[in-house]
Chains A and B, each alone.
Chain A
Protein backbone atom coordinates (compact mmCIF):
# COMPACT_ATOMS: atom_id res chain seq x y z
CA UNK A 1 0.00 0.00 0.00
CA UNK A 2 0.99 3.63 -0.10
CA UNK A 3 3.88 4.63 2.06
CA UNK A 4 4.11 8.34 1.28
CA UNK A 5 1.60 10.68 2.86
CA UNK A 6 -0.89 11.83 0.29
CA UNK A 7 -0.72 15.48 1.25
CA UNK A 8 2.95 15.71 0.44
CA UNK A 9 4.00 17.76 3.48
CA UNK A 10 6.24 16.30 6.15
CA UNK A 11 3.64 15.30 8.76
CA UNK A 12 4.35 12.15 10.76
CA UNK A 13 2.54 9.16 9.34
CA UNK A 14 0.53 7.52 12.13
CA UNK A 15 0.84 3.77 12.49
CA UNK A 16 -1.87 1.78 10.80
CA UNK A 17 -4.21 0.91 13.66
CA UNK A 18 -7.92 0.78 14.20
CA UNK A 19 -9.42 3.37 16.58
CA UNK A 20 -11.19 1.83 19.57
CA UNK A 21 -14.20 4.08 19.14
CA UNK A 22 -15.33 3.04 15.68
CA UNK A 23 -18.38 2.60 13.48
CA UNK A 24 -18.14 -1.10 12.74
CA UNK A 25 -14.56 -2.40 12.66
CA UNK A 26 -12.43 0.75 12.52
CA UNK A 27 -10.70 -0.36 9.30
CA UNK A 28 -11.78 2.62 7.18
CA UNK A 29 -11.10 5.18 9.92
CA UNK A 30 -7.70 3.67 10.69
CA UNK A 31 -6.70 3.51 7.06
CA UNK A 32 -7.87 7.08 6.43
CA UNK A 33 -5.81 8.38 9.31
CA UNK A 34 -2.80 6.41 8.17
CA UNK A 35 -3.07 7.71 4.63
CA UNK A 36 -4.21 11.18 5.58
CA UNK A 37 -7.30 10.88 3.40
CA UNK A 38 -10.86 11.79 4.31
CA UNK A 39 -12.71 8.81 5.80
CA UNK A 40 -15.55 9.19 3.28
CA UNK A 41 -13.10 8.82 0.39
CA UNK A 42 -11.67 5.59 1.86
CA UNK A 43 -15.16 4.21 2.35
CA UNK A 44 -16.14 5.14 -1.22
CA UNK A 45 -12.96 3.46 -2.45
CA UNK A 46 -13.83 0.23 -0.63
CA UNK A 47 -17.38 0.34 -1.99
CA UNK A 48 -16.34 0.98 -5.59
CA UNK A 49 -13.54 -1.59 -5.69
CA UNK A 50 -15.92 -4.13 -4.15
CA UNK A 51 -17.89 -3.93 -7.38
CA UNK A 52 -14.84 -5.12 -9.28
CA UNK A 53 -15.06 -8.79 -8.47
CA UNK A 54 -15.25 -8.12 -4.72
CA UNK A 55 -11.63 -6.84 -4.52
CA UNK A 56 -12.51 -4.03 -2.10
CA UNK A 57 -14.40 -6.40 0.17
CA UNK A 58 -11.45 -8.80 0.25
CA UNK A 59 -9.02 -5.98 1.04
CA UNK A 60 -11.36 -4.80 3.78
CA UNK A 61 -11.56 -8.25 5.38
CA UNK A 62 -7.83 -8.69 5.07
CA UNK A 63 -7.14 -5.35 6.79
CA UNK A 64 -9.73 -6.16 9.44
CA UNK A 65 -7.99 -9.40 10.26
CA UNK A 66 -4.47 -8.00 10.36
CA UNK A 67 -4.73 -4.45 11.67
CA UNK A 68 -4.32 -4.17 15.44
CA UNK A 69 -6.42 -1.94 17.68
CA UNK A 70 -4.93 1.34 18.76
CA UNK A 71 -3.15 0.86 22.07
CA UNK A 72 -5.52 1.49 24.97
CA UNK A 73 -7.40 -0.04 27.84
CA UNK A 74 -11.10 0.22 27.15
CA UNK A 75 -13.05 -2.36 25.17
CA UNK A 76 -13.71 -1.38 21.56
CA UNK A 77 -16.92 0.54 21.05
CA UNK A 78 -18.87 0.02 17.84
CA UNK A 79 -21.36 2.75 17.09
CA UNK A 80 -23.15 1.00 14.22
CA UNK A 81 -25.61 -1.76 15.18
CA UNK A 82 -23.88 -4.13 12.76
CA UNK A 83 -25.82 -7.21 13.86
CA UNK A 84 -29.14 -5.53 13.09
CA UNK A 85 -27.79 -4.14 9.82
CA UNK A 86 -26.75 -7.65 8.78
CA UNK A 87 -30.19 -8.96 9.74
CA UNK A 88 -31.83 -6.19 7.73
CA UNK A 89 -29.45 -6.89 4.84
CA UNK A 90 -30.55 -10.51 4.90
CA UNK A 91 -34.06 -9.32 4.05
CA UNK A 92 -32.86 -8.19 0.59
CA UNK A 93 -31.72 -11.57 -0.82
CA UNK A 94 -34.53 -13.36 0.99
CA UNK A 95 -37.10 -10.99 -0.50
CA UNK A 96 -35.48 -11.43 -3.89
CA UNK A 97 -35.73 -15.19 -3.52
CA UNK A 98 -39.38 -14.91 -2.55
CA UNK A 99 -40.44 -12.93 -5.60
CA UNK A 100 -38.30 -14.79 -8.15
CA UNK A 101 -40.52 -17.81 -8.41
CA UNK A 102 -40.83 -20.11 -11.40
CA UNK A 103 -38.37 -22.70 -12.63
CA UNK A 104 -35.91 -21.02 -15.01
CA UNK A 105 -33.53 -22.93 -17.21
CA UNK A 106 -30.38 -23.52 -15.07
CA UNK A 107 -31.95 -24.02 -11.69
CA UNK A 108 -34.28 -22.18 -9.38
CA UNK A 109 -33.53 -18.44 -9.34
CA UNK A 110 -34.19 -18.30 -5.58
CA UNK A 111 -31.41 -20.71 -4.69
CA UNK A 112 -28.39 -18.40 -4.33
CA UNK A 113 -30.27 -15.42 -2.79
CA UNK A 114 -31.80 -17.73 -0.20
CA UNK A 115 -28.41 -19.18 0.74
CA UNK A 116 -26.94 -15.66 0.96
CA UNK A 117 -29.79 -14.62 3.26
CA UNK A 118 -29.13 -17.58 5.56
CA UNK A 119 -25.42 -16.74 5.58
CA UNK A 120 -26.10 -13.11 6.51
CA UNK A 121 -28.36 -14.13 9.38
CA UNK A 122 -25.74 -16.49 10.80
CA UNK A 123 -23.16 -13.73 10.41
CA UNK A 124 -25.44 -11.34 12.33
CA UNK A 125 -25.81 -13.67 15.29
CA UNK A 126 -22.09 -14.46 15.27
CA UNK A 127 -21.37 -10.74 15.34
CA UNK A 128 -23.74 -10.25 18.25
CA UNK A 129 -22.32 -13.23 20.10
CA UNK A 130 -18.61 -12.64 19.63
CA UNK A 131 -18.04 -8.95 18.87
CA UNK A 132 -20.91 -7.15 20.62
CA UNK A 133 -20.88 -9.28 23.75
CA UNK A 134 -17.98 -7.52 25.55
CA UNK A 135 -19.53 -4.12 24.78
CA UNK A 136 -21.28 -2.94 27.94
CA UNK A 137 -23.82 -0.95 25.95
CA UNK A 138 -25.05 -4.05 24.15
CA UNK A 139 -24.17 -7.20 26.08
CA UNK A 140 -26.18 -10.39 26.60
CA UNK A 141 -29.65 -8.87 26.13
CA UNK A 142 -28.76 -7.51 22.73
CA UNK A 143 -27.26 -10.88 21.81
CA UNK A 144 -30.43 -12.61 22.96
CA UNK A 145 -32.66 -10.32 20.85
CA UNK A 146 -30.54 -10.83 17.74
CA UNK A 147 -30.62 -14.57 18.28
CA UNK A 148 -34.39 -14.66 18.63
CA UNK A 149 -34.90 -12.72 15.43
CA UNK A 150 -32.31 -14.86 13.62
CA UNK A 151 -33.97 -18.07 14.79
CA UNK A 152 -37.44 -16.95 13.79
CA UNK A 153 -36.32 -15.86 10.32
CA UNK A 154 -34.32 -19.05 9.72
CA UNK A 155 -37.22 -21.18 10.87
CA UNK A 156 -39.53 -19.24 8.55
CA UNK A 157 -37.17 -19.83 5.63
CA UNK A 158 -37.06 -23.53 6.34
CA UNK A 159 -40.84 -23.79 6.68
CA UNK A 160 -41.54 -21.79 3.49
CA UNK A 161 -39.07 -23.89 1.52
CA UNK A 162 -40.33 -27.22 2.77
CA UNK A 163 -44.07 -26.56 2.62
CA UNK A 164 -44.10 -24.07 -0.28
CA UNK A 165 -44.17 -24.89 -3.99
CA UNK A 166 -40.35 -24.92 -4.15
CA UNK A 167 -40.09 -28.37 -2.60
CA UNK A 168 -42.04 -29.99 -5.41
CA UNK A 169 -40.61 -27.86 -8.20
CA UNK A 170 -36.92 -28.30 -7.35
CA UNK A 171 -36.57 -30.77 -4.50
CA UNK A 172 -32.81 -30.92 -4.33
CA UNK A 173 -32.01 -27.18 -4.09
CA UNK A 174 -34.96 -26.82 -1.73
CA UNK A 175 -33.53 -29.53 0.51
CA UNK A 176 -30.11 -27.84 0.47
CA UNK A 177 -31.55 -24.47 1.51
CA UNK A 178 -33.73 -26.00 4.22
CA UNK A 179 -30.72 -27.87 5.54
CA UNK A 180 -28.68 -24.66 5.50
CA UNK A 181 -31.43 -22.90 7.45
CA UNK A 182 -31.56 -25.62 10.11
CA UNK A 183 -27.76 -25.74 10.32
CA UNK A 184 -27.88 -21.96 10.64
CA UNK A 185 -30.14 -22.24 13.70
CA UNK A 186 -27.66 -24.66 15.22
CA UNK A 187 -24.80 -22.25 14.50
CA UNK A 188 -26.72 -19.40 16.11
CA UNK A 189 -26.78 -21.33 19.40
CA UNK A 190 -23.47 -23.16 19.06
CA UNK A 191 -21.41 -20.79 21.28
CA UNK A 192 -23.91 -21.05 24.15
CA UNK A 193 -24.19 -24.81 23.82
CA UNK A 194 -20.44 -25.23 23.83
CA UNK A 195 -20.15 -23.14 26.98
CA UNK A 196 -22.95 -25.06 28.72
CA UNK A 197 -21.40 -28.39 27.80
CA UNK A 198 -18.04 -27.31 29.14
CA UNK A 199 -19.59 -26.16 32.43
CA UNK A 200 -21.42 -29.44 32.76
CA UNK A 201 -18.35 -31.59 32.28
CA UNK A 202 -16.38 -29.40 34.69
CA UNK A 203 -19.11 -29.87 37.27
CA UNK A 204 -19.00 -33.62 36.80
CA UNK A 205 -15.22 -33.71 37.19
CA UNK A 206 -15.49 -31.64 40.36
CA UNK A 207 -18.07 -34.01 41.83
CA UNK A 208 -15.99 -37.06 41.09
CA UNK A 209 -12.98 -35.43 42.70
CA UNK A 210 -15.06 -34.57 45.76
CA UNK A 211 -16.26 -38.16 46.11
CA UNK A 212 -12.74 -39.47 45.79
CA UNK A 213 -11.52 -37.04 48.38
CA UNK A 214 -14.14 -38.08 50.93
CA UNK A 215 -13.33 -41.72 50.31
CA UNK A 216 -9.66 -41.06 50.95
CA UNK A 217 -10.60 -38.99 53.98
CA UNK A 218 -12.60 -41.84 55.48
CA UNK A 219 -9.74 -44.23 54.94
CA UNK A 220 -7.03 -41.95 56.31
CA UNK A 221 -9.20 -41.04 59.25
CA UNK A 222 -9.19 -44.65 60.33
CA UNK A 223 -5.52 -45.23 59.81
CA UNK A 224 -3.09 -42.35 59.55
CA UNK A 225 -4.88 -39.88 61.82
CA UNK A 226 -5.23 -42.51 64.54
CA UNK A 227 -1.56 -43.30 64.32
CA UNK A 228 -0.58 -39.65 64.48
CA UNK A 229 -2.80 -39.22 67.53
CA UNK A 230 -1.16 -42.20 69.17
CA UNK A 231 2.30 -40.82 68.47
CA UNK A 232 1.38 -37.54 70.11
CA UNK A 233 -0.15 -39.37 73.00
CA UNK A 234 2.89 -41.50 73.66
CA UNK A 235 5.61 -38.97 72.96
CA UNK A 236 4.52 -36.27 75.41
CA UNK A 237 2.78 -33.05 74.49
CA UNK A 238 5.74 -30.81 73.70
CA UNK A 239 8.37 -33.28 72.54
CA UNK A 240 9.73 -32.87 69.05
CA UNK A 241 8.10 -36.04 67.76
CA UNK A 242 4.71 -35.02 69.11
CA UNK A 243 4.99 -31.58 67.59
CA UNK A 244 5.80 -32.95 64.19
CA UNK A 245 2.99 -35.49 64.45
CA UNK A 246 0.59 -32.76 65.50
CA UNK A 247 1.59 -30.46 62.68
CA UNK A 248 1.26 -33.29 60.18
CA UNK A 249 -2.12 -34.27 61.57
CA UNK A 250 -3.35 -30.72 61.27
CA UNK A 251 -2.07 -30.36 57.74
CA UNK A 252 -3.56 -33.66 56.66
CA UNK A 253 -6.89 -32.89 58.24
CA UNK A 254 -7.03 -29.48 56.63
CA UNK A 255 -6.36 -31.02 53.26
CA UNK A 256 -8.92 -33.76 53.80
CA UNK A 257 -11.80 -31.78 55.16
CA UNK A 258 -11.35 -28.21 54.09
CA UNK A 259 -11.95 -28.78 50.40
CA UNK A 260 -10.39 -26.39 47.94
CA UNK A 261 -8.55 -23.50 49.48
CA UNK A 262 -10.20 -20.12 49.62
CA UNK A 263 -7.98 -17.51 48.04
CA UNK A 264 -8.63 -14.70 50.55
CA UNK A 265 -8.56 -16.43 53.88
CA UNK A 266 -10.24 -15.09 56.96
CA UNK A 267 -8.50 -14.34 60.21
CA UNK A 268 -9.27 -17.71 61.84
CA UNK A 269 -7.89 -19.75 58.97
CA UNK A 270 -4.80 -17.57 58.84
CA UNK A 271 -4.07 -17.96 62.55
CA UNK A 272 -4.55 -21.74 62.34
CA UNK A 273 -2.00 -21.81 59.58
CA UNK A 274 0.39 -19.68 61.61
CA UNK A 275 -0.08 -22.05 64.55
CA UNK A 276 0.83 -25.03 62.39
CA UNK A 277 4.02 -23.35 61.22
CA UNK A 278 5.01 -22.31 64.74
CA UNK A 279 4.53 -25.84 66.02
CA UNK A 280 7.09 -27.09 63.57
CA UNK A 281 9.63 -24.40 64.33
CA UNK A 282 9.31 -24.07 68.10
CA UNK A 283 8.70 -26.45 71.01
CA UNK A 284 5.13 -25.31 71.40
CA UNK A 285 1.61 -26.56 70.94
CA UNK A 286 -0.86 -23.92 69.82
CA UNK A 287 -4.60 -24.34 70.24
CA UNK A 288 -6.66 -21.99 68.09
CA UNK A 289 -10.36 -21.52 68.85
CA UNK A 290 -12.46 -19.36 66.57
CA UNK A 291 -15.92 -18.11 67.47
CA UNK A 292 -18.39 -15.92 65.66
CA UNK A 293 -18.44 -14.43 62.23
CA UNK A 294 -15.16 -13.91 60.45
CA UNK A 295 -15.22 -10.65 58.61
CA UNK A 296 -11.61 -9.85 59.32
CA UNK A 297 -9.22 -10.66 56.46
CA UNK A 298 -5.93 -12.48 56.79
CA UNK A 299 -4.20 -9.50 55.25
CA UNK A 300 -5.35 -6.99 57.86
CA UNK A 301 -3.44 -5.29 60.67
CA UNK A 302 -5.19 -7.37 63.33
CA UNK A 303 -3.90 -10.54 61.68
CA UNK A 304 -0.39 -9.10 61.56
CA UNK A 305 -0.47 -8.15 65.24
CA UNK A 306 -1.88 -11.57 66.17
CA UNK A 307 0.87 -13.32 64.24
CA UNK A 308 3.43 -11.25 66.09
CA UNK A 309 1.90 -12.09 69.47
CA UNK A 310 1.81 -15.81 68.64
CA UNK A 311 5.41 -15.73 67.48
CA UNK A 312 6.44 -14.02 70.73
CA UNK A 313 4.62 -16.65 72.76
CA UNK A 314 6.22 -19.48 70.81
CA UNK A 315 9.69 -17.98 70.93
CA UNK A 316 9.83 -16.79 74.54
CA UNK A 317 7.40 -19.03 76.38
CA UNK A 318 6.88 -22.27 74.50
CA UNK A 319 4.75 -25.03 75.97
CA UNK A 320 1.05 -24.62 75.48
CA UNK A 321 -0.27 -21.51 73.80
CA UNK A 322 -3.97 -20.74 73.51
CA UNK A 323 -5.34 -18.47 70.82
CA UNK A 324 -8.95 -17.35 70.94
CA UNK A 325 -10.64 -15.31 68.22
CA UNK A 326 -14.12 -13.93 68.71
CA UNK A 327 -15.88 -12.00 65.97
CA UNK A 328 -18.72 -9.92 67.36
CA UNK A 329 -20.88 -7.41 65.53
CA UNK A 330 -19.11 -4.46 67.13
CA UNK A 331 -15.53 -5.71 67.22
CA UNK A 332 -13.13 -8.58 66.69
CA UNK A 333 -11.07 -9.71 69.65
CA UNK A 334 -7.99 -11.93 69.70
CA UNK A 335 -6.47 -13.38 72.85
CA UNK A 336 -3.05 -15.00 72.81
CA UNK A 337 -2.08 -16.65 76.04
CA UNK A 338 1.01 -18.58 77.04
CA UNK A 339 2.23 -20.15 80.27
CA UNK A 340 5.83 -19.09 80.12
CA UNK A 341 7.94 -16.79 82.29
CA UNK A 342 5.87 -13.77 81.44
CA UNK A 343 6.93 -10.23 80.75
CA UNK A 344 5.23 -6.88 80.90
CA UNK A 345 5.69 -3.74 78.91
CA UNK A 346 7.39 -1.95 81.81
CA UNK A 347 10.13 -4.54 81.89
CA UNK A 348 10.85 -4.31 78.20
CA UNK A 349 13.58 -1.79 77.48
CA UNK A 350 12.53 0.94 75.11
CA UNK A 351 15.13 -0.10 72.55
CA UNK A 352 13.67 -3.56 72.25
CA UNK A 353 10.93 -2.52 69.96
CA UNK A 354 9.42 -5.91 69.16
CA UNK A 355 6.30 -5.86 71.27
CA UNK A 356 5.79 -2.14 71.49
CA UNK A 357 6.02 -1.41 67.82
CA UNK A 358 4.67 -4.52 66.27
CA UNK A 359 1.70 -5.18 68.48
CA UNK A 360 0.70 -2.14 70.50
CA UNK A 361 1.76 0.48 67.97
CA UNK A 362 0.39 -1.42 65.03
CA UNK A 363 -3.01 -1.86 66.63
CA UNK A 364 -3.18 1.76 67.72
CA UNK A 365 -2.29 3.05 64.28
CA UNK A 366 -4.95 0.83 62.73
CA UNK A 367 -7.62 2.18 65.08
CA UNK A 368 -7.71 -0.75 67.49
CA UNK A 369 -6.25 -1.38 70.89
CA UNK A 370 -3.82 -3.84 72.43
CA UNK A 371 -3.03 -4.91 75.97
CA UNK A 372 -0.03 -6.96 76.97
CA UNK A 373 -0.10 -8.22 80.52
CA UNK A 374 0.59 -11.11 82.83
CA UNK A 375 -1.58 -14.19 82.42
CA UNK A 376 -4.13 -15.24 84.98
CA UNK A 377 -2.60 -16.02 88.36
CA UNK A 378 0.61 -14.33 87.27
CA UNK A 379 1.54 -17.27 85.05
CA UNK A 380 2.68 -16.47 81.55
CA UNK A 381 1.62 -13.62 79.33
CA UNK A 382 -1.69 -12.66 77.87
CA UNK A 383 -2.06 -10.42 74.84
CA UNK A 384 -5.48 -8.99 74.10
CA UNK A 385 -6.13 -7.35 70.74
CA UNK A 386 -9.33 -5.57 69.86
CA UNK A 387 -10.32 -4.14 66.51
CA UNK A 388 -13.63 -2.27 66.30
CA UNK A 389 -15.78 -3.13 63.31
CA UNK A 390 -15.21 -0.90 60.29
CA UNK A 391 -12.31 0.90 61.94
CA UNK A 392 -10.49 3.40 59.74
CA UNK A 393 -7.35 1.98 58.22
CA UNK A 394 -8.51 -1.61 58.51
CA UNK A 395 -9.76 -2.03 54.99
CA UNK A 396 -7.71 -5.08 54.22
CA UNK A 397 -4.47 -3.19 53.92
CA UNK A 398 -1.15 -4.88 53.78
CA UNK A 399 0.04 -7.08 56.61
Chain B
Protein backbone atom coordinates (compact mmCIF):
# COMPACT_ATOMS: atom_id res chain seq x y z
CA UNK B 1 0.00 0.00 0.00
CA UNK B 2 1.32 3.38 -0.95
CA UNK B 3 0.17 5.14 2.13
CA UNK B 4 1.88 8.10 3.68
CA UNK B 5 4.03 7.37 6.66
CA UNK B 6 2.16 7.56 9.95
CA UNK B 7 3.85 8.98 13.02
CA UNK B 8 3.18 6.84 16.07
CA UNK B 9 3.95 6.90 19.78
CA UNK B 10 3.94 3.51 21.53
CA UNK B 11 2.89 3.57 25.18
CA UNK B 12 3.30 0.38 27.20
CA UNK B 13 4.87 -0.32 30.56
CA UNK B 14 6.67 -3.42 29.26
CA UNK B 15 9.79 -2.44 27.36
CA UNK B 16 10.05 -5.90 25.84
CA UNK B 17 6.57 -5.51 24.40
CA UNK B 18 7.36 -2.06 23.00
CA UNK B 19 10.50 -3.25 21.24
CA UNK B 20 8.69 -6.32 19.94
CA UNK B 21 5.87 -4.24 18.55
CA UNK B 22 8.24 -1.71 17.01
CA UNK B 23 10.10 -4.45 15.21
CA UNK B 24 6.87 -5.89 13.83
CA UNK B 25 5.25 -2.74 12.54
CA UNK B 26 5.23 -1.95 8.81
CA UNK B 27 7.83 0.30 7.29
CA UNK B 28 5.10 2.82 6.63
CA UNK B 29 4.81 3.41 10.36
CA UNK B 30 7.28 5.72 11.97
CA UNK B 31 7.63 5.29 15.72
CA UNK B 32 8.56 8.75 16.97
CA UNK B 33 8.37 8.12 20.69
CA UNK B 34 7.86 5.65 23.50
CA UNK B 35 6.55 5.93 27.02
CA UNK B 36 6.08 3.57 29.95
CA UNK B 37 3.58 5.25 32.27
CA UNK B 38 0.87 7.92 32.35
CA UNK B 39 3.20 10.80 33.16
CA UNK B 40 5.87 10.00 30.58
CA UNK B 41 3.14 9.26 28.02
CA UNK B 42 1.63 12.71 28.47
CA UNK B 43 5.02 14.35 28.12
CA UNK B 44 6.01 12.40 25.00
CA UNK B 45 2.64 12.68 23.30
CA UNK B 46 2.35 16.41 23.84
CA UNK B 47 5.91 16.95 22.71
CA UNK B 48 5.79 14.90 19.51
CA UNK B 49 2.11 15.40 18.58
CA UNK B 50 1.92 12.09 16.67
CA UNK B 51 -0.82 10.99 14.28
CA UNK B 52 -1.65 7.92 16.34
CA UNK B 53 -0.92 6.84 19.90
CA UNK B 54 -0.79 3.09 20.46
CA UNK B 55 -1.88 2.94 24.05
CA UNK B 56 -1.88 0.13 26.58
CA UNK B 57 -5.14 0.05 28.53
CA UNK B 58 -3.56 -0.98 31.82
CA UNK B 59 -0.92 1.64 32.21
CA UNK B 60 0.67 2.41 35.57
CA UNK B 61 0.67 5.98 36.76
CA UNK B 62 0.62 8.02 39.94
CA UNK B 63 -2.47 10.04 39.16
CA UNK B 64 -4.84 7.33 37.97
CA UNK B 65 -8.11 7.61 39.88
CA UNK B 66 -9.53 4.42 41.35
CA UNK B 67 -11.71 2.58 38.83
CA UNK B 68 -10.23 4.32 35.81
CA UNK B 69 -7.36 2.92 33.78
CA UNK B 70 -4.05 4.50 32.90
CA UNK B 71 -4.92 4.38 29.21
CA UNK B 72 -8.21 6.23 29.67
CA UNK B 73 -6.43 8.81 31.81
CA UNK B 74 -3.84 9.56 29.13
CA UNK B 75 -6.58 10.09 26.53
CA UNK B 76 -8.61 12.32 28.83
CA UNK B 77 -5.69 14.62 29.52
CA UNK B 78 -3.88 14.60 26.18
CA UNK B 79 -6.84 14.72 23.78
CA UNK B 80 -7.93 18.32 24.55
CA UNK B 81 -4.44 19.59 23.69
CA UNK B 82 -4.02 17.51 20.54
CA UNK B 83 -7.22 17.45 18.50
CA UNK B 84 -5.47 15.87 15.51
CA UNK B 85 -3.99 12.93 17.43
CA UNK B 86 -5.96 9.67 17.45
CA UNK B 87 -5.72 6.97 20.07
CA UNK B 88 -5.76 3.23 19.44
CA UNK B 89 -6.06 1.10 22.55
CA UNK B 90 -4.00 -2.03 22.96
CA UNK B 91 -5.20 -4.53 25.49
CA UNK B 92 -3.77 -7.80 26.64
CA UNK B 93 -7.28 -9.08 27.11
CA UNK B 94 -10.17 -8.83 24.72
CA UNK B 95 -12.69 -8.37 27.48
CA UNK B 96 -15.08 -5.53 26.79
CA UNK B 97 -14.70 -4.32 30.37
CA UNK B 98 -11.06 -3.51 29.75
CA UNK B 99 -11.79 -1.66 26.60
CA UNK B 100 -15.04 0.27 26.81
CA UNK B 101 -13.49 2.58 29.39
CA UNK B 102 -10.82 3.79 26.92
CA UNK B 103 -13.32 3.92 24.07
CA UNK B 104 -15.57 6.15 26.14
CA UNK B 105 -12.55 8.23 27.05
CA UNK B 106 -12.01 8.84 23.33
CA UNK B 107 -10.04 5.99 21.75
CA UNK B 108 -10.90 5.27 18.12
CA UNK B 109 -10.73 1.54 18.50
CA UNK B 110 -8.85 -1.28 20.10
CA UNK B 111 -6.90 -4.39 19.21
CA UNK B 112 -5.55 -7.18 21.35
CA UNK B 113 -1.86 -7.52 22.04
CA UNK B 114 -1.96 -10.95 20.44
CA UNK B 115 -2.55 -9.34 17.04
CA UNK B 116 0.24 -9.66 14.49
CA UNK B 117 2.37 -6.72 13.44
CA UNK B 118 0.48 -6.56 10.14
CA UNK B 119 -2.86 -6.36 11.88
CA UNK B 120 -1.64 -3.64 14.19
CA UNK B 121 -0.24 -1.71 11.24
CA UNK B 122 -3.53 -1.94 9.35
CA UNK B 123 -5.41 -0.77 12.44
CA UNK B 124 -3.01 2.15 12.87
CA UNK B 125 -3.59 3.25 9.27
CA UNK B 126 -7.34 2.90 9.65
CA UNK B 127 -7.37 5.00 12.80
CA UNK B 128 -5.03 7.57 11.25
CA UNK B 129 -7.49 8.17 8.42
CA UNK B 130 -10.30 8.68 10.88
CA UNK B 131 -11.89 5.23 10.82
CA UNK B 132 -12.85 3.24 13.85
CA UNK B 133 -11.34 -0.17 14.57
CA UNK B 134 -13.78 -2.71 15.91
CA UNK B 135 -12.83 -6.24 16.89
CA UNK B 136 -15.43 -9.01 16.76
CA UNK B 137 -15.56 -9.02 20.56
CA UNK B 138 -16.20 -5.28 20.76
CA UNK B 139 -18.90 -5.58 18.11
CA UNK B 140 -20.48 -8.34 20.19
CA UNK B 141 -20.40 -6.18 23.27
CA UNK B 142 -21.98 -3.29 21.38
CA UNK B 143 -24.82 -5.50 20.15
CA UNK B 144 -25.41 -6.62 23.72
CA UNK B 145 -25.15 -3.21 25.30
CA UNK B 146 -27.51 -1.55 22.82
CA UNK B 147 -30.12 -4.28 23.15
CA UNK B 148 -29.85 -5.45 19.55
CA UNK B 149 -30.16 -9.07 20.60
CA UNK B 150 -33.59 -8.43 22.12
CA UNK B 151 -34.78 -6.60 19.03
CA UNK B 152 -34.31 -2.94 19.97
CA UNK B 153 -33.84 -0.78 16.89
CA UNK B 154 -33.37 2.95 16.54
CA UNK B 155 -36.14 4.75 14.68
CA UNK B 156 -34.59 8.18 14.29
CA UNK B 157 -31.13 8.57 12.78
CA UNK B 158 -29.78 10.72 15.58
CA UNK B 159 -30.81 8.39 18.39
CA UNK B 160 -27.85 7.73 20.65
CA UNK B 161 -29.16 4.88 22.77
CA UNK B 162 -30.04 2.35 20.10
CA UNK B 163 -28.49 1.09 16.87
CA UNK B 164 -30.20 1.50 13.53
CA UNK B 165 -31.09 -1.64 11.60
CA UNK B 166 -28.16 -1.11 9.25
CA UNK B 167 -25.71 -0.53 12.08
CA UNK B 168 -26.89 -3.74 13.67
CA UNK B 169 -26.30 -5.65 10.46
CA UNK B 170 -22.80 -4.22 10.17
CA UNK B 171 -22.00 -5.03 13.81
CA UNK B 172 -23.36 -8.58 13.43
CA UNK B 173 -21.12 -9.24 10.46
CA UNK B 174 -18.08 -7.78 12.20
CA UNK B 175 -18.86 -9.93 15.24
CA UNK B 176 -18.97 -12.92 12.88
CA UNK B 177 -15.41 -12.15 11.85
CA UNK B 178 -16.05 -10.30 8.58
CA UNK B 179 -13.53 -7.71 7.41
CA UNK B 180 -14.96 -4.34 6.32
CA UNK B 181 -14.53 -5.37 2.69
CA UNK B 182 -16.51 -8.55 3.28
CA UNK B 183 -19.20 -6.66 5.17
CA UNK B 184 -19.50 -4.30 2.22
CA UNK B 185 -19.82 -7.20 -0.25
CA UNK B 186 -22.40 -8.98 1.89
CA UNK B 187 -24.60 -5.92 2.33
CA UNK B 188 -24.07 -4.54 -1.21
CA UNK B 189 -22.71 -1.25 0.09
CA UNK B 190 -19.33 0.43 -0.33
CA UNK B 191 -16.47 0.01 2.12
CA UNK B 192 -16.74 3.73 2.81
CA UNK B 193 -20.35 3.28 3.90
CA UNK B 194 -19.34 0.45 6.22
CA UNK B 195 -16.72 2.72 7.75
CA UNK B 196 -19.33 5.44 8.20
CA UNK B 197 -21.62 3.04 10.03
CA UNK B 198 -18.81 1.80 12.26
CA UNK B 199 -17.81 5.36 13.11
CA UNK B 200 -21.43 6.17 13.92
CA UNK B 201 -21.56 3.19 16.26
CA UNK B 202 -18.30 4.26 17.90
CA UNK B 203 -19.79 7.71 18.46
CA UNK B 204 -22.87 6.18 20.07
CA UNK B 205 -20.66 4.02 22.23
CA UNK B 206 -18.82 7.13 23.40
CA UNK B 207 -21.81 9.40 23.89
CA UNK B 208 -24.72 7.16 24.74
CA UNK B 209 -26.24 7.41 28.18
CA UNK B 210 -27.93 4.08 27.72
CA UNK B 211 -28.46 2.59 31.11
CA UNK B 212 -26.63 -0.69 30.44
CA UNK B 213 -23.56 1.24 29.43
CA UNK B 214 -23.77 3.78 32.19
CA UNK B 215 -24.71 1.24 34.83
CA UNK B 216 -21.85 -0.88 33.68
CA UNK B 217 -19.46 2.06 33.72
CA UNK B 218 -20.72 3.35 37.06
CA UNK B 219 -20.24 -0.05 38.63
CA UNK B 220 -16.58 0.20 37.65
CA UNK B 221 -16.41 3.91 38.51
CA UNK B 222 -15.44 4.87 34.99
CA UNK B 223 -17.75 7.87 34.86
- Measuring CB to CB, which residues of chain A are less than 8 angstroms from any residue of chain B? 221-222, 225-226, 229-230, 232-234, 236-237, 242, 246, 249, 253, 257, 287, 289-293, 320-322, 324, 326-329, 335, 337, 376-377
Contact = CB atoms under 8 A, between A and B. Distances in A.
A92 to B, nearest CB: 63
A289 B151 contact: no
B61 interface: no
Nearest to A236: B116
Contacts of B109: none
Contacts of A335: 176
B175 A328 contact: no
B44 interface: no
Nearest to B137: A289
B81 interface: no
Contacts of B117: 233
B172 interface: yes
B92 A376 contact: no
B207 interface: no
Contacts, number: 94
Given A234-B24, A376-B182, A376-B186, A291 B140 contact: yes
A335 B20 CA distance: 34
A322 B24 CA distance: 24
Contacts of B148: 291
A205 B151 CA distance: 43
A233 B116 contact: yes
A232 B148 CA distance: 33
B143 A291 contact: yes
B33 interface: no
B146 to A, nearest CB: 11
Nearest to B176: A324
Contacts of A232: 113-114
A68 B41 CA distance: 77
A393 B14 CA distance: 53
A233 B24 contact: yes
A226 B113 contact: yes
15 contacts: A229-B113, A229-B114, A234-B24, A287-B137, A289-B140, A289-B175, A289-B177, A291-B143, A291-B148, A292-B144, A326-B143, A328-B151, A329-B150, A376-B185, A376-B186
A288 to B, nearest CB: 9
A376 B183 CA distance: 9
Contacts of B140: 289-291, 324
Contacts of A291: 140, 143-144, 148-149, 175
A221 B58 CA distance: 9
B112 A229 contact: yes
Interface in B169-205: 172, 175-178, 182, 185-186
Contact of B114 (A222, A249, A321): A249
